[in-house]
Chain A
């Protein structure tokens, strides 16, 4: 087999894995957008915040240590214990639920029936607030996230492909783990929304607020629930990205990559978020590999946005979104 083709295959596989992570972030957007019509600009920062909280809890950091030390002249930094990864994840999930409740109680509840743009602006404000708050709480230094996920090249794939094609594929174990976790998460979400009482209520709220009220669904409860689920998705995304490239501010910028994913997949479709993520992941890696060298490289920075732009022109509702029909 020609080497060029094998390389392209390897690039494509790696693209798929990267796409899974884009899809994870996009999924958080879709969940909230479907249930409350809010485009949550803070989704990326939520992932950052969740990852920082996870690291902080696991390493036994004292929250607001810097603030406490400055005010009281003390010198505390650590509690001196380390938590097991699963316990730290559980506690962080709890923090995200609390966060969801606070958002509903202090922001959404006061903005019911406001135009979408107001809610959108509120989430921008929330994003900047959280960014600063997370820094204040856990410190702004770059942290390493290690919860025991496998890292490094997958020897089995390397060996098998080498024996088959005479060329070993480089696939990172972490990417494989991320893919498996993401797949499980999506299956769990689908089961939840299709087969449980709360899931049905969630779909109902997403469809029609008034009708939902008339069958006895509390909008507040559903919103807290949806933001909690989105918080949990952000946590998973934060773990995967954090393990890959460290927990740092740039983590919140991956939210921007989720935008073209959503334009491709449609803002209201869970399968759309996944397929969109995969297409963008594979597309940008392949484009960089095949076309990049001829036009000076660095195409990964803009490829996704150009693809989204093309979609906006020819299919504004995305691949899976609801078709927009205006009746006159």
Chain B
């Protein structure tokens, strides 16, 4: 049995899980009178696949939006890489190395797959506006470097065949994959996936699971994902947070969570007698 409280440990399949990269402390988020998240704390460790699960309306997506800066919580602290996050805009969070996908897919529909993935490199591009306009040599060299990285990711996610296709024409499952590619292109320190398997058929779900595992394994990317499909999550993740009605009702390895009475009640319902 591995000691999960240690500074770092090696999982059964040989991946190294490091120290805490992101910590949420007593987060509370309200929309007017509705409390979407109530006093939740948890951490994400470097190199792990961390899942947040819960029934519909549990506040999972809100939590992901807090992490990615789209929502600012009323109470609590967000710590990333040992630093407390000040009030921040989503684009600033992205520049810190946190990439994300969206539940309802937010791609640039009019642009090609390649261009979409290239936008993921924007935070990594150094050349300024004037230099791009006047000094073509350097800008061009930089563009080529980024293209190489992007092509690698495109190969990795097996979307070479549709590189030049406008995203608007792709089927749903492929769009999800392109969105993942764009997030990966930023070489993020933390990758947030909002329901990566939502609305997919069994085959697409299997593909996506494989890609998530491969990304984590190959690039060592820390992943935090949201799902309501329990089965998928249990196979994928190292540790799981369970939310229900905005509260945290469980936190631990998939096995621990599976045997947690509060979790079973939340998912299967409980007899009121």
A residues apposed to B, CB below 8 Å: 192, 195-198, 200-201, 203-204, 206-208, 210-219, 225, 322
Which residue in chain A gives the minimum CB-CB distance to B107?
A: A211
Kindly state whether residue B99 has any CB partner on chain A within 8 Å.
yes
Query: Is B59 an interface position by the 8 A CB rule?
Result: no
A–B complex contacts, Cβ < 8 Å, 27 sampled: A196-B132, A197-B127, A197-B132, A197-B139, A200-B115, A200-B118, A204-B122, A207-B108, A207-B109, A207-B110, A207-B111, A210-B70, A211-B108, A212-B119, A213-B70, A213-B94, A214-B68, A214-B99, A214-B100, A215-B120, A215-B186, A216-B94, A217-B91, A217-B119, A219-B91, A225-B129, A322-B110
Q: Specify which of B70, B109, B129, B143 is in contact with A208 (CB 8 Å cutoff).
A: B109
> Which residue of B has the minimal Cβ distance to A213?
B90
Contact B132 A200 (CB under 8 A): no
Check B89 for interface membership: any CB of A closer than 8 A: yes
Tally B residues with Cβ within 8 Å of A. 33
Q: Are A198 and B132 in contact (CB under 8 A)?
A: yes
A208 in contact with B118 (CB, 8 Å): no
In contact, A217 and B122 (Cβ under 8 angstroms): yes
How far apart are A186's CB and chain B's nearest CB, in angstroms?
16
Residues in B with CB closer than 8 Å to A213 are 70, 89-91, 94
Chain B residues with CB below 8 A from A192, complex form: 133
Q: A residues within 8 A CB of B139? A: 196-197
A215–B119 CB distance below 8 A: yes
Q: Are the C-beta atoms of B122 and A201 separated by less than 8 Å? A: yes
Residue-by-residue, is B88-108 near A (CB-CB < 8 Å gives 1, otherwise 0)?
011110110001101000111
Number of A-B contacts (CB under 8 A): 82
Q: B125 at the A/B interface (Cβ < 8 Å)?
A: yes
- The interface residues of chain B lying within 8 Å CB-to-CB of A218 are 89, 91
Residues of B within 8 A of A (CB): 68, 70, 89-92, 94-95, 99-100, 102, 106-111, 115, 118-120, 122-123, 125, 127, 129, 132-133, 139, 143, 182-183, 186
Query: Are B110 and A215 touching (Cβ within 8 A)?
Result: no
CA distance A204 to B68 in the complex (A): 19
CB distance from A205 to the nearest CB of B (A): 9
Bound-state CA distance A30–B109 (Å) is 18
CB distance from B193 to the nearest CB of A (A): 12
Bound form: Cα–Cα A254–B91 in Å: 38
> How far is the CB of B258 from the nearest CB of chain A, in Å?
32
Residues of B within 8 A of A196 (CB): 129, 132-133, 139
Chain A min CB distance to B62 (Å): 15
Min Cβ gap A302→B in Å is: 34
Instruction: Indicate the member of A197, A200, A206, A211 with the most B CB atoms within 10 Å.
Output: A197
Please name the residue on chain A nearest to B179 by beta carbon: A211
Inter-chain CA distance A46–B7, complex, in Å, is 61
What distance in Å separates the Cβ of B209 from its nearest Cβ neighbour in chain A?
23
Complex partner residue of A197 from B90, B106, B110, B125, CB under 8 angstroms: B125
